[in-house]
Chain A
């Protein structure tokens, strides 16, 4: 029997998020008109409604708001990998991002987010494990 795969379905904007990924960085949409950074990806700027949106490496520093272990998943792929650590991070540049907390960071911690590809080529935003990289 084949091993289950992670869900790979994304919207066109979700695919653009992956295609614009840069190593060891966080690339999100930034508005050319008002400079606001936004996430999740949108068709127009949530602030000024411009469609002049660039994919830019943004300030990836933020504070971890809350983090939980997920013990249940709808997808068979994740059921072998639970608990999955899901965290909410408020970036200094504005957006709130739900990301993978494999670094086991705690609420109030200063963290950095980067875009990583899983073994199947899907993009995941993750909390950078600064201890390992130091």
Chain B
């Protein structure tokens, strides 16, 4: 295949003048009898409360949800009594939060909207996860689901085992990520598993799920929402809101499709350009949020985004504290999906980054966090995640 298609012909322009404000979380629950619109609607209410804006000031809406169907974002305009002039729905799984931010930032710059609410929200009901998995994609319906109906655990167990065979990673290496995240979650009252400690022994002795994937490598689908507003810096200042700027953001899809098993994603294709545009390097990042559907995918992101070389993340996590207060690389500082729960398509990491760099993360605040990176990964259409995205955010002038 023509690898020349992988080379960028142009570089994205800067996101000058854009502000990200009002990080909010609608607390997660394992199950809910409420619909996805309840979680998204309550997130919108929280955005208005935190920003002091009236509902009719929100003239843009971007939503991601696995559990909103048959409704779409336009259904929500009627549900919520909104009359937006800019509307977006991002169905890219765990890359949706970063991509929603990216789309909204451009719309603000172009004047297509003044204030955009970006919301990821899901409900969780008895059969909602099974319905999502059974009808996830056409390729999955024909070529994965008939093979033991493993859900995402099947393909990710193959990726995890292949990564272990290729690079010598051990279960303890993955455990370092999961255990550090649980420590972070122990300091986050919104984390569903935050009241439970997790030791390395607990991690290693968990019940097997698929190959090397055991219980604490898997996220728990749940109900909840995370949301933020995108507007202009001028508007953020006039509202008196602490804000973040977007130094750079990028995305790439279906990269390295000739690799027989996914051991890397699209981050490597835009990483150098991303850091160049931001004017910084990995060493300047105060905290990193990766999309942690499984610990091995965190490693692919650490490598793809230049925190270590390809295949060296096991060594990196052996030598680098990952807790919010460990002095290494604070990673998934609220506990991540592995300990908070999975809802809302990757907005968790964007919102946590925004909380951290606006100094509103509470008991798991990273001291003097100024620059944060959030990475997205999503959509196992067949045997690998197709979407890779990342954004670098910085604390705005107060």
Residues of B within 8 A of A88 (CB): 158, 162, 260-261, 383
Q: Is the CB of B146 within 8 A of A72?
A: no
Number of interface residues of A (CB under 8 A): 41
Q: Which residues of B contact A11 (CB under 8 A)?
A: 138, 141-142
Interface of A is mostly: mixed
Min CB gap B58→A, angstroms = 38
**Residues of B contacting A66 in the complex (Cβ-Cβ under 8 angstroms):** 158, 161-162, 165, 261
CB atoms of A14 and B209 under 8 A apart = no
A44–B295 Cα gap in the complex (Å)? 35
The reply to whether B157 and A70 form a contact with Cβ atoms under 8 Å apart is yes
Shortest CB distance B137–A (Å): 9
Chain A 50-71, CB-CB to B under 8 Å as 1, else 0, gives: 0000000000000001111111
CB–CB A73/B150 < 8 A: yes
Contact, CB under 8 Å: B146 / A65: no
Q: How far is the CB of A62 from chain B (nearest CB, A)?
A: 10
Quick check: B261 and A65 within 8 Å, CB to CB?
Answer: yes
Check A122 against B146 for contact (C-beta < 8 Å): yes
* CB-defined contacts of B261 to chain A, threshold 8 Å: 65-66, 88, 96
Bound-state CA distance A11–B139 (Å) is 9
User: Given A7-B145, A68-B211, does the pair A86, B158 have CB atoms closer than 8 Å?
Assistant: yes
User: What 0/1 pattern do residues 26 to 41 of A give for CB contact below 8 A with B?
Assistant: 0000000000000111
Q: Are B151 and A74 in contact, CB atoms less than 8 angstroms apart?
A: yes
Set of chain A residues within 8 Å of B161, measured between Cβ atoms? 66-68
Encode A65-96 as 1/0 by CB contact (under 8 A) with B. Answer: 11111111111011001101011101000001
A74 adjacent to B133 (CB under 8 Å): yes
Shortest A11–chain B CB gap in Å is: 5
In the complex, whether B149 has a CB less than 8 A from a CB of chain A is yes
Write out the residue numbers on chain A whose beta carbons fall within 8 Å of the beta carbon of B210: 68-72, 86
Please, what's the 1-or-0 string for A86-116, where 1 marks a CB less than 8 Å from any CB in chain B?
1110100000111110000001000000000
Task: Assess the B134–A98 pair: CB atoms within 8 A.
Answer: no
Q: Which 7 A-B pairs have the closest CB atoms?
A: A68-B211, A14-B142, A84-B148, A75-B149, A40-B143, A40-B139, A68-B157
Jot down 8 A-B pairs with beta carbons below 8 A, ordered by A.
A7-B146, A11-B141, A67-B161, A68-B157, A70-B157, A72-B210, A86-B147, A96-B261
